[in-house]
Amino acid sequence: MQLGKYYFLVIVYFVGVMAGTLAHFFGADIQTILRLPFLNFRWIDFFIIVVVTAYIFKAFTKPANIDKTKGLLILCFILLLFEILQLIRSWGRTEDSFQIAGFICFLTIFIIIDLLTFDISKAEIIKFIERLAVLGAITVIVKNAYLLYSFINGNIIYVDSEIRVGLEVIGEKESVYTSILTSFVYAFSLFYIENSSKRYQKILFVTAILSIYLSLVYSFRRGDLFSTLLITIIYSLVFSKTIIKKIQQAFIVFSLLVTLYFIFGRALAQRGYDPIQKVVEIAQFSVDVDNPDWDKGRSIPRQYALTAWERSPFFGYGYDDLHNFGLPEDINGAHNFVITSLFIRGIVGTTVYLLILFMLYRNSILFWRQLRNFDSYENNIIRLLIVVSFFWLIPFWTQEAIWEKYSLSMQMMYLGLINNLANNTIVSPFNLGVNQYCKNE
């Protein structure tokens, strides 16, 4: 099974998503969940290194197929060499642990390199995505259900200017981004509710959608709301085959929201959190760009990063820390990949990184165009994964997603799987996406 290591990577991500819930429930330090026992080393770091090690081993023992991916792979290795030099030139400017953690985060690019180098059968990838959807749905349901339970019992805190609720967790140092998981689970829940013949799957994915809708009320995020609405529109327009289906889906979504409000609205309002009022307040806040709190103070670190970058525009400062350039200790990063990357890599490294991402997305779009004319269960799963992969661009632009190893590893995996299929699949009316390397199946 060529995707074995990625199952472990997925499990580590799901545990990371659930870590706050588990730590809060057991009253434990979250770091005991995120790190290897007796070692000051994160599980996610360990499995990223496993991917790197496995690739190096396979490079000497298994045949590669890089005829169509040679250009992308060359760019990846150029960027890898550049990052190594950046780490060397900036070593010692800040804490070693900070620099090592940042470099390991970059090593997620080996997920792309691995999946662009070795052929994997389409059947194995489809099975992997199916299992990922089920495990992801369970993770989302449990996490959202526990947060709702804690909210009803008053065992929560208010965060981000009190626009959402959260859990107070011992030892929490970093956030594991869930937006990429929410988009994935929501999109595939819509798909399996319509296409699965298994009752347990329909129940599971309906529950997942309900939990996502509920979480938008008591733990509102603008990005998640935008993603949910846009995925609903895209799915209805692209994947539903008739006008009747489109109308039915819109009616079901509206009915679910109304039903949830009547079921939970009164209980929430009694605890000082009226769902309708809160959504209206947040919607008004979202468009009030003149409000000094609108960007949550993110303009401050962005200005520090750009000011520092102007003094070293071509190569940046390597694995340095903005706090060494005057950024107040109580303020975090720039919450924007391009600005942060310019500070770290300068114009040279940032251009190469953006070019790699552009080529990966370009290949995905070209593959979509091939698949759209040949309708099949497998092809629709791939098309849906392509759609989901684009929603990472929201936290990519507004958050520090490129430095958050958990969600970044998932996004690299999405893009790698799509490009692996694109490079090794012949699509025709007589072969609806069956992998041309049939011997692998």
Q: For residue 407, what are the CA distances in angstroms to 131, 182, 381, 410, 433? A: 18, 11, 20, 5, 28
What is the pLDDT, as a whole number, of residue 219? 66
Sign of CA dihedral 342, 348, 353, 354: positive
Closest CA to 87 of 345, 378, 408: 345
DSSP state at residue 434? E
Residue-wise pLDDT for 212-247, tens only, equals 988 877 666 667 878 888 998 898 888 876 666 656
Residue-wise pLDDT for 187-202, tens only, equals 999 999 888 888 899 9
The residue whose two tokens read 């495990």 is 135
Structure tokens at 111: 């997920």
Residue-wise pLDDT for 264-292, tens only, equals 666 566 655 565 666 566 555 555 545 54
Structure tokens at 302: 């962005």
The Cα 169–Cα 173 span in angstroms is: 10
Beta bridge partners of 425: 435
What is the pLDDT, as a whole number, of residue 297? 54
Task: State the helix-helix crossing angle for 179-195 and 222-234, rounded to 10 degrees.
Answer: 30
Closest CA to 52 of 9, 86, 15, 96: 9
Q: What is the mean pLDDT of residues 356-368?
A: 95
Q: Residue 235, Cβ neighbours under 10 Å: how many?
A: 21
Main-chain dihedrals φ then ψ at residue 219, nearest 5 degrees: -140, 65
DSSP state at residue 428? E
pLDDT tier for residue 430 given thresholds of 50, 70 and 90? very low
The pairing of strands 157-159 and 425-428 is unpaired
The Cα 79–Cα 345 span in angstroms is: 10
Residue-wise pLDDT for 309-352, tens only, equals 889 999 999 998 888 888 777 666 666 778 888 889 999 999 99
What integer best gives the mean pLDDT of the chain? 83
Query: What is the distance, to the nearest Å, from the Cα of residue 376 to the centroid of all Cα atoms in its chain?
Result: 26
The Cα 420–Cα 115 span in angstroms is: 6
Tell me: pLDDT of 399 over 80.
Answer: no
Main-chain dihedrals φ then ψ at residue 59, nearest 5 degrees: -60, -25
Reported pTM: 0.86
Sign of CA dihedral 91, 297, 231, 128: positive
Q: For residue 79, what are the CA distances in angstroms to 70, 95, 318, 372? A: 14, 23, 13, 33
What is the pLDDT, as a whole number, of residue 389? 95
Which of 171-185, 216-230, 290-304, 409-423 is the least confident region? 290-304
Highest mean pLDDT among 37-41, 265-269, 359-363: 359-363
Query: What is the distance, to the nearest Å, from the Cα of residue 15 to the centroid of all Cα atoms in its chain?
Result: 14
The Cα 363–Cα 282 span in angstroms is: 37
Closest CA to 35 of 24, 44, 26, 48: 44
